[in-house]
Structure formats: C-alpha cells, structure tokens
Copies of this chain bind each other. A is one copy, B any other.
Amino acid sequence: MDKINGTIINENVAFADFKNHDGEVVSIAGYVHRIREMTGFAFIIIRTAKETIQCVYAPEFSDYRLDEKLCEEACVKVYGKVVSSKDAKGNDRYELQIHDIKILSLPAEQLPIVINKKQLDNIQLNTVLDLRPVSMRNPKERAIFKLQEGIARGFREFLMKNGFTEIRSPKINYAGAEGGTNVFKLDYFDKQVYLAQSPQLYKQALVGVFQRVFEIAPVFRAEHHDTSRHLNEYTSMDFEMGFINGFEDIMNMETGALKYIMNLLKTEYAEEVEILHADIPEITEIPAIKFMDAKKIIMEKFKYTPSDMKDFDPHEEELLGKYAKKEFNSDFIFITHYPSKKRPFYTMDDPADPEYTLSFDLLFRGLEITSGGQRIHDYHAQVEKMKKLGTNPEDFETYLMLHKYGAPPHGGLGIGLERLTMHLLGFKNVREATMFPRDINRVTP
C-alpha cells in the first residue's frame, strides 16, 4: 500500500480483486491493449498478466493528459478509482476511472499483426508461429499455453500426492531408448551420442530406487515427415511405477491423473477454459477393450477393412472413439493387449498368449494420447527377448543393471503434452498447441 498526495493506493490489484476495492484507488501494470477514443473521453484497455481491464479516461477526472504519445503495446502503470455498474444481465461490472498513467516503455514500431481482438483473425498458422513472441500476446493464444501449464501441473500434483518422485533424466544419451531410428546425433567431442527419444530406460532404472517416479521434460525425435501430428521436439509426461499387481494398476493411475487434471482445469483455469471454449471431458470410469476385440468392432460394426491387423490407422482410432462415446458415453477408451510385434523390447508378453502384450494405448476422442504397459522385470527374460528381436543386450548393459540386480514388477506410460492440449482444444494441428514448434522446416523462433 502506498500514498500519493495523501491518497492511499492499493498497488497492483488483480482484476478479480476489484470487487474488494470498489470506490478505492488502485494501481495496475500492463500493456496498453487497445485505445478507443470517443467524444470527450476514451477507453483504454490494459492487458495484465492474466486479463484485460477496461479503464476510462476523461479530462474531468484524469490528471493525465492523453496525447498521441500513448500507443498500443506501451507498457504502463495506471492509477485510478475502481467503479462498478450493472451489465444487461444485472451482473456487477468493474472498470477503472483513470487518475494517472505512468509510461514505463514505448514500442519502437507498431505490431505487424492485430492482436487486440478476441482471437487472431484470418492469420495463417505459419505467420502466427513466425511471430510467436507477439502473436501470443493475443488473449486467446495466451490462454492456450496457460491451460497447457495446468495440464502438466495436474499430472505432477496428482502423482506427487500418490508417492511419486520427480526425476530429471539426461537428454544426452549414449543409445536410443527404442533402437537407433529417428534419433538426433550430436557432435560431442569424440563421442557418438544422441538426444533422448524418451526417458524410458532411466525411469525404469529409478523404479529400483524410488519405486514410483515421473518426469515432465523435452524429448527429441528426428521425424522426417512434416504432418499435422508430428513434432521433432515435444514435452513428454512420463511415469513408471513398481510393485504393481498388473498393468491395470497403470491404467487406474492414469485414470486418476486425468480426472485430477480435468478437475484442476475446470476450477483453477476456468477463465482460460471459457476463453478457449474448451470442452473439458467428464471422467468417471474409462472402459477398456482388447486389441483384437477392437478390430472385430471396426470390421463388424463399422464395416471397415483394416489395412494392418497389428496396429490401428487414424481412421480406426476415430471409429473406436465413436464406439466409446456411443457404448459407454466416454470420451476415453483403453485398448489393451497390443500385438507383441508392434511393441518395444521391454514390453511384457501376455503369459496367456505371448502373441499379445500386457500393454495398452489410451484413445481420447478418437486419438491416441498414451502408450503404456507392464515391462519385463526378469533379467533372463529381457535378454532372451532382446536377442529374439535382434537387439544386442551388450548395447544395453547399463539398462540391464536394473534387471540383473533385481527389479520389481513394474510398468508405466507416456503422454505427449502438446498432443493432449491440441485435442482437448479441438485443434487440427499440434503446432497450434506448441509454443515454439520444431519440425523438419522450422527451428525458429
């Protein structure tokens, strides 16, 4: 609290708090988002860290004199009186009667795009991305990444409440976690090293230390195709848990995490949910069906002939999404028991039928957002499976320390943060939900 000319100033009051300062003098700091000059007065909209606030300038109550110096994207501190009125629906509306404006900085040039509308209008995605440092100043663009913070935060908070330890695995790796394809090579003195494709091998090792671990961190994939779904760098939300009774424990933990996340978004990120018109799913239980049963449904119910009986194409995922909505009224569906041939070497085969695995994918509104499952924990079984798949166990000596010196039954999963954000917001391109996307054509800004 500060005083100017004997008047008490409540410094840096959040808009949500205006109702507690009705009639009082407060200060706010932010960008000049918009200036609308009217006859004899003007609206000056200030963009703060979280919201836009309508301020009214008029010579009769403003000591400040508005001239052409004040422009959009100037950074200012505004002093003024909070005044309330009723809107058409009878709700309280608050605005600020400007007493004074202190200009903190001025831009050197006008913005190259219009950012002070509700959303960016008719601007090509490539331009939005080229100009990310300024296009994100648009309230809707900003809300995307605030909401994304909430998703990662929910994942982390839920797991910490459930006894998970946060780990930070190295991104400079001596071998690719899932074989040598699609890895970026690095000039590292005289050594051959790669950027981490996933924290897989490290999170498994750390189950032997902390029992339950998670990580939210960048991963890197040298994707050659430039599609709307792929990125060469993205944020992977991973967890791994030991002493499980079966891979269902992993699915239950994920269900819990998703419930927690969606609830967090609805409560703590309600403003962003509203700005984005985000359709936050209701989760009670998530149904699960076996891979081969899913194939049957696709062929018999939807009369669609799959091209590959070992995996799903995007259209099949969509059909399964429709099936989940219709049969179970669920936005999510687990598909379990994927064919052994399509899963990585660490996946545990189903003892009841080793052609299939104790693994799962999670589809959200017809799009795969998670792969997970139980891992092999027996040393001899892991070495044997590696050999069968043509992987040399000697290349994975450190990884196999876990198994050699004792591993509990364990499993885990990974979720792509940007992909989940994209689909939750109904975007068609993952770049819309990626702050600074990297693909085969883009490494800037």
Contacts and interface: CB of A to CB of B under 8 A. Distances in A.
Contacts of A325: none
Nearest to A398: B445
A404 B91 CA distance: 39
Give the oligomeric copy count. Answer: 2
A59 interface: no
Contact of A195 (B31, B49, B152, B186): B186
A405 B134 contact: yes
B185 A166 contact: no
A151 to B, nearest CB: 11
A217 B217 contact: yes
A193 B220 CA distance: 13
B408 A137 contact: no
Nearest to A232: B172
B401 A445 contact: yes
A354 to B, nearest CB: 19
B443 A188 contact: yes
A75 B408 contact: yes
A402 B133 contact: yes
Contact of A233 (B172, B243, B378, B403): B172
Interface stretch (A204-212, A257-265, A307-315, A344-352): A204-212
B168 A435 contact: yes
A170 B406 CA distance: 37
Interface string A42-66: 0000001100000000000000000
Contacts of A406: 31, 73-75, 105-107
Interface of A: 29-31, 48-49, 73-75, 77, 104-109, 111-112, 131-134, 136-137, 142, 145-146, 149, 152-153, 160, 163, 165-174, 184-189, 191, 193, 195, 202, 205-206, 208-212, 217-218, 220, 224, 232-233, 235, 242-243, 377-380, 398-399, 401-409, 417, 435-436, 438, 440, 443-445
Given A75-B377, A108-B380, A170-B233, 12 more contacts: A31-B406, A49-B165, A75-B242, A75-B409, A105-B407, A107-B404, A145-B165, A152-B168, A153-B166, A170-B218, A170-B438, A174-B443
